[in-house]
Structure 1
């Protein structure tokens, strides 16, 4: 330094790295300002500051939303690690930031799927306790809470947030990993709770934000993925047995009885005359002779119910009817199959928020599709807004 002038010497001293700076700055050979919880160098570079040993070197902010949220808040002293809130199991851990903890207080201690159901509130409270030892359940629960928050606070074109996508993705990865291992008794409830949450997330997250972008107007092979996701959840039924004696889901026995009730295999008793007519059903119709019979019976279960009584049981009764030939007709955008789905959306979407998130784009999309491509089918048009059998609430 003796060969340098005063100005060069000052610049050389200013480039010395801090003894107590973060590891990222040391790796990048930069002077750290030692700001906490996020130094200015890391903030501008887009990585998580790693004064703490549990944060990887040069971790991009977008790759760890849980820590990124804390990094974007107003700088403050990081609380001692003993005061942190964690969820962890034998192989995975996740530190909950302030927003996650707030969502637990506001949302996860109550029933999100059906807010007025006391049994679901009891189930959700017990699942929340389990979430602190099963990270895949915690991530799924936070993703559902974030989706519910978006439902409450966004317009019709509200897009999924980065936080939603992060927790949904993390839950899916960890859950799939867990399902590759033997399922022991203590893991059955968190596995069933996570499967239910992932089914809700898939259903409530259409790939379009406007009717014109939505199925059935825009065809995609992934348009009915929610059907397969719910079927996948139900495939775990016999392995998990949510009605076993020690299951926390046992209090939902009446709801499951509604969901699993046998679908009528013949006749049209209970089906409104107009619905039977559009499906070309008669007293002699059977589930083998008509692909619409089971779906028509299922949707008829909710059509005359007051909105306050449209709960998980009756709603899932229709979802169960989507299989076999009827599912194929939906994928082919058959007009009668679409009318039955439209009637279900129109009713269930007024009562259950996670159905409403999809219904508010797909319900009007079905209307537009049927008007555009099946204008000459008077029986179908009669169910659309302004038609003879419109309930005056529209799409």
Structure 2
């Protein structure tokens, strides 16, 4: 149809082209955030749409992608979607339960199907979370998880559990999610990554929320929540180390920290072990066995004499049995050290406090001198630069002086080794002090294939989140190892 010419119009209008109305089109309601802001059509490509790829922008979807639907005329047989892991796919306060639909299937499938060296960015923001939460969650699954890794230890291959299973449980249990986010925020600030947008105040808020929701969960816990509670109790041992540093440092905080470690045993005792194995978090609770007799033979003689010299009228006499038991567990670290540096040595150091008898814990909390002396000797081992356990940094340098000052000159001789360790930062020199052998000259480096993430890879992963780092090495790492548009 031609446009009519109004009276008085020029002759040029007589040749005006015909008008064709726009064809009706269906608007996209599941496009990415950038395309919606610019009001342009989004092709909904994953992991990034074409528009964002061309503009080199980070592509974020605010809703999950629509599942493909087969039509009546389709002749293509669609394969079934991967089944989410049992026991970790229901959004409820009671923890995951089998048989329900995964709350965020695309995120879960991406996490489960990823190769160990590739961590995808979540493709959308789940309800109740924001972009900062998602960035912290990604940082945990890329870098922070390795803080609790023992590498490819045959009895404890925990990396897939820490990166995938724990995250799945976190989406079903807010207390675990809060702990993960708080731990990532703490790690980012520990590394000084100011461009991540995580302030110390934000870290404090995440941490406070983690402890608050964890305490509430303990009061109403049922069997379905125990796997998430066990994972949370372990991660909280790292999150709670803020009491050893900075303005929040409190002398003799190791006494409360020790109680937190013992709390893991309490939750495991209450839980159903078959359920823990079915839930997939069992590798997290593995601890190496202790040969108590062989361990006792590795102890320094002055610590053994400290106990053998106690008379029956000494107030500590009723605790001698518990002190000796604690020394046997300490001896297991000396015994492991005699075999050289390994991930198993790191695991023994990290889990030592969880082995301690409850009566020893009670004696230490009463600040009995011999219990504090044993703890001071343990703290020396935490000075080792073993693995990526950043959350133990500085604990010994803070607490050993506190113990020395509290006990006074009377116990100075028994605290000679812990006091001397304060001047040492080198692993080899620290071993020579502990074994009293100036000629000790073995390797103090754990080979990379024993670790879940080598120190070099850990540094690359951290640099990869810093947008201004465009070095070829980091650019290649982003392209090959991380599905994340910085």
TM over 0.5: yes
Partners of 1:207 and 1:170 in 2: CA distance: 20
Deviation at 1:345, TM superposition (A): 1.3
Q: CA separation of 1:116/1:199 partners in 2, compared to 1, >3 Å: closer, same or farther?
A: closer
Q: CA separation of 1:150/1:383 partners in 2, compared to 1, >3 Å: closer, same or farther?
A: same
Kept in 2: contact 1:88–1:134 (CA 8 A): no
- 1:206 is aligned to 243
Aligned length, in residue pairs: 295
Q: Deviations over 1:142-166 (max 9, x none)?
A: 1122223333339xxxxx9222322
Deviation at 1:252, TM superposition (A): 4.9
Alignment of 1:158-177 (within 5 A): 161-177=200-216
Indicate whether 1:336 and 2:373 are aligned.
no
1:247 to 279, 282, 286: 279
Structure 1 vs Structure 2 CA RMSD? 4.3
Partners of 2:279 and 2:291 in 1: CA distance: 23
Q: CA separation of 1:323/1:108 partners in 2, compared to 1, >3 Å: closer, same or farther?
A: same
Deviation at 1:80, TM superposition (A): 6.8
Indicate whether 1:100 and 2:146 are aligned.
no
Partners of 1:329 and 1:184 in 2: CA distance: 32
SS, match of residue 292 in structure 1: helix
Kept in 2: contact 1:278–1:379 (CA 8 A): no
Alignment of 1:51-66 (within 5 A): none
Q: CA separation of 1:239/1:386 partners in 2, compared to 1, >3 Å: closer, same or farther?
A: closer
Indicate whether 1:295 and 2:326 are aligned.
yes
**Higher RCO (CA 8 Å, separation ≥ 6 residues):** 2
Partners of 1:383 and 1:188 in 2: CA distance: 40
Deviation at 1:137, TM superposition (A): 1.4
- 2:251 is aligned to 215
Deviation at 1:124, TM superposition (A): 0.7
- 1:58 is aligned to none
Deviation at 1:262, TM superposition (A): 8.4
1:315 to 342, 347, 350: 350
Q: Deviations over 1:161-191 (max 9, x none)?
A: 2223222222333333334445244x33222
Indicate whether 1:133 and 2:172 are aligned.
yes
Kept in 2: contact 1:131–1:190 (CA 8 A): yes
- 1:363 is aligned to 400
Deviation at 1:214, TM superposition (A): 4.2
Q: CA separation of 1:348/1:151 partners in 2, compared to 1, >3 Å: closer, same or farther?
A: same
- 1:82 is aligned to 63
Partners of 1:262 and 1:94 in 2: CA distance: 49
Deviation at 1:322, TM superposition (A): 5.2
Larger radius of gyration: 2
Deviation at 1:347, TM superposition (A): 0.6
Partners of 2:346 and 2:131 in 1: CA distance: 33
Partners of 1:184 and 1:377 in 2: CA distance: 47
Kept in 1: contact 2:298–2:334 (CA 8 A): no
- 1:35 is aligned to none
Partners of 2:284 and 2:169 in 1: CA distance: 18
SS, match of residue 172 in structure 2: coil
Q: Deviations over 1:315-374 (max 9, x none)?
A: 3234421531x334423444432222122112124233323353332133334x16xx53
Q: Deviations over 1:104-124 (max 9, x none)?
A: 223324633434424221111
- Normalised by the length of structure 2, the TM-score is 0.50
